[in-house]
Structure 1
Amino acid sequence: MTAEVCEIVITAPDAEWAADFTRTLVETRLAACGHQTPIRSIYRWDGAVHDNAETRIALHTQLIHADEILRLTNQSHPYKVPCFLVQPILSASPDYGTWIIDCTTRPEAI
C-alpha cells in the first residue's frame, strides 16, 4: 500500500488560491485531502533574496496522480516556477492508507 501513496507539497502566495486549488483536486478525486499551513519563505529569485508569507499545501494522494497534479499546478499557479515536491509515504496506518486510495480512485477506474 505505501508504495502507492504519496504527499505532494506545493507552496502558494495566498491561502485562497491554495484552498480553491485543493478543493478542485479533492472534488475531482485527484487528492484525498489537502492540509494548509501558513509559512514564511526566504528564497533567492531573479538575483535577489526575498522574504514572503506563503501557504504550504500538503496533499495526500496516489503516486499515479502526481503527473496530472503537476500539469494542473503549472497551468493555474500564479508563480512562474512553483514549488512542487512529491514525497513517498513510507508508512501509514492501514486504515488511513486505504482511505487515501479509496478517495482517489476515480470512478472510471473501478
Structure 2
Amino acid sequence: MTPKEEIIIVFTHVPNKACAEHIAQTLITDKLAACVNISSPVTSIYRWQGQIEQAEEIALSIKTTRQGYAACAARLRMLHPYELPEIVGIHVSEGLPEYLAWVAAETGMQE
C-alpha cells in the first residue's frame, strides 16, 4: 500500500488542555501517532443518558496509520477520562506524499 492508503486521522474530545497534552505526549512518545493537533476549546452539545448535555471540550486530531490504528485507539481508550469517548478514525484519501510518508515513518510503519 502507498502511504496515502495507510494514513488515518483519529478524532476525539477531552475535558481540558492538560488531559489533551498528556494524551498527545503519550501517543507521540509511544510512536502511536506522528502528530496530535490540540484545538482551542469547542462547545459540544449531545444527548447522554437521556439528557441534553453541553460541555466545553478540547478536540484532538491524531495522525496515525492503518496498521497502528488498533494500538493507538486502545491506548487512547486507556488514557481517556470519559466513560464512552469519541474515538473515530477517518482514512486519508489525498495528501502531500512527503507528509504522508513522514506520518508512516514517525509511527514506525514505513515500508
| TM-score (norm: length of structure 1) | 0.91
Shift of 1:103: 0.6
Partner of 2:53: 50
**For structure 1, which segment, 65-74 or 55-64, has the greater mean C-alpha deviation from structure 2 after superposition?**
65-74
What is the root-mean-square deviation in Å for CA atoms of aligned residues?
1.5
Shift of 1:27: 1.1
**Aligned partner of residue 32 in structure 2, secondary structure:** coil
In structure 1, what is the Cα distance between the partners aligned to 2:96 and 2:79?
A: 33
Amino acid paired to 1:24: T
Partner of 2:26: 24
Amino acid paired to 2:55: N
Q: Deviations over 1:39-60 (max 9, x none)?
A: 1100001111111100110011
In structure 1, what is the Cα distance between the partners aligned to 2:90 and 2:20?
A: 19
Spell out the pairing of 1:74-93 with structure 2 (5 A cutoff): 74-93=77-96
Spell out the pairing of 1:1-110 with structure 2 (5 A cutoff): 1-37=3-39, 38-105=41-108
In structure 2, what is the Cα distance between the partners aligned to 1:50 and 1:100?
A: 35
In structure 2, what is the Cα distance between the partners aligned to 1:73 and 1:60?
A: 13
In structure 2, what is the Cα distance between the partners aligned to 1:49 and 1:81?
A: 16
Shift of 1:32: 0.5
**For structure 1, which segment, 68-77 or 7-16, has the greater mean C-alpha deviation from structure 2 after superposition?**
68-77
In structure 1, what is the Cα distance between the partners aligned to 2:76 and 2:100?
A: 24
Shift of 1:63: 1.2
Gaps of 5+ in 2: none
Shift of 1:74: 2.0
State the identity %.
24
Aligned length: 108
**Aligned partner of residue 36 in structure 1, secondary structure:** strand
